[in-house]
Amino acid sequence: MSGIKSTLARKAAKAAAKHTAHGTASKLKRDRMRAATLLGLGGAVGAAAGWIAGRTAGAASVGTGS
């Protein structure tokens, strides 16, 4: 039964990725400047969130040493 679930999950993930790629390409065709700005801003926010999460996790693990 788990084989069916993983197959369906894989198909759903593939469909979602295709849908996202198609939407992004469509937006870039219509309004390049706005789409590029939003994508860049999203990437910057994501990178900052990841950096903050990494520093927070790193600081927490340093204090729990021997």
Residue 15 has a pLDDT of 96
| Domain ranges across the chain | 1-30, 32-66
Residues in the chain: 66
Residue 10 has a pLDDT of 93
Q: What is the pTM of this model?
A: 0.44
**Taking CA 15 as the corner, what is the angle to CA 7 and CA 22, rounded to the nearest 5 degrees?**
160
Residues 6+ apart with CB under 8 A from 28: 35, 36
pLDDT digits (tens, 9 = 90+) for 42-63: 999 999 999 999 888 776 666 5
Q: Is the pLDDT of residue 64 over 70?
A: no
pLDDT digits (tens, 9 = 90+) for 5-37: 899 999 999 999 999 999 888 877 877 788 788
Place of tokens 């790629």: 21
